[in-house]
Amino acid sequence: MAARRSRIPATKYPVERFTLDNGLRVVLTPDRSAPVIGVAVVYDVGIRSEPEGRTGFAHLFEHLMFQGSENLEKLAHFRHVQGAGGTFNGSTHLDYTDYFETLPSNALERALFLEADRMRGPRLTEENLRNQVDVVKEEIRVNVLNRPYGGFPWLTLPPVMFDTFPNAHDGYGSFDDLESATVADAADFFRRYYASGNAVLAVSGDIDVAEATELVTRHFGDVPARPAPQRPDFTEPDLSAERRTSYTDALAPLPAVAGAWRVPDPVTDFAGYLPYVVLAEVLTDGDASRLVERLVQRDRTVTSLGGYLGFMGDPFDVRDPTALLLQAHLPPGGDVDKVLRTVDEELDRLATDGLTDGELARTQARMATHLLRDTDAVLGRALRMAVLEQQRGEPGLLNELPRLVGEVTEEQVRAAAATLRPERRAAIEVIPGGAR
List the beta bridge partners of residue 97: 43, 92
Q: What is the mean pLDDT of residues 362-382?
A: 94
> What pLDDT was estimated at residue 435?
56
Q: What is the mean pLDDT of the chain?
A: 95
> What pLDDT was estimated at residue 2?
41
Is 16-221 a CATH 3.30.830.10 domain?
A: yes
Q: Is the pLDDT of residue 430 over 60?
A: yes
The C-alpha atoms of residue 201 and residue 39 are separated, in whole angstroms, by: 7
Q: Does an H or E element contain 379, and which?
A: helix 378-392
Taking alpha carbons only, the member of 95, 15, 103, 4 closest to residue 50 is 95
51 or 1, which is more confident?
51
Taking alpha carbons only, the member of 182, 192, 194, 74 closest to residue 133 is 182
Residue type (1 letter), 282: V
Task: Write the pLDDT tens digit of every residue in 309-354.
Answer: 999 988 999 999 999 999 999 999 999 999 999 999 999 999 999 9
Q: What is the mean pLDDT of residues 42-53?
A: 95
Taking alpha carbons only, the member of 64, 77, 59 closest to residue 117 is 77
Q: β-pairing, 16-19 with 243-249?
A: unpaired
Task: Write the pLDDT tens digit of every residue in 287-316.
Answer: 889 999 999 999 999 999 999 999 998 899
Task: Write the pLDDT tens digit of every residue in 68-90.
Answer: 998 999 999 999 999 999 999 99
CATH of the domain spanning 243-432, picked from 3.40.50.300, 3.90.740.10, 3.30.830.10, 3.90.950.20 = 3.30.830.10
Domain ranges of the chain: 16-221, 243-432
pTM of structure: 0.95
434 or 274, which is more confident?
274
The C-alpha atoms of residue 388 and residue 115 are separated, in whole angstroms, by: 20
Q: How far is CA 364 from the centre of its chain?
A: 21
Task: Write the pLDDT tens digit of every residue in 151-186.
Answer: 999 999 999 999 999 999 999 999 999 999 999 999
Q: pLDDT category, 3, cuts 50, 70, 90? A: very low
Sheet holding 16-19, edge to edge: 16-19, 25-30, 199-205, 36-43, 97-104, 87-92
The C-alpha atoms of residue 343 and residue 364 are separated, in whole angstroms, by: 22
The C-alpha atoms of residue 426 and residue 422 are separated, in whole angstroms, by: 8
> What pLDDT was estimated at residue 5?
47
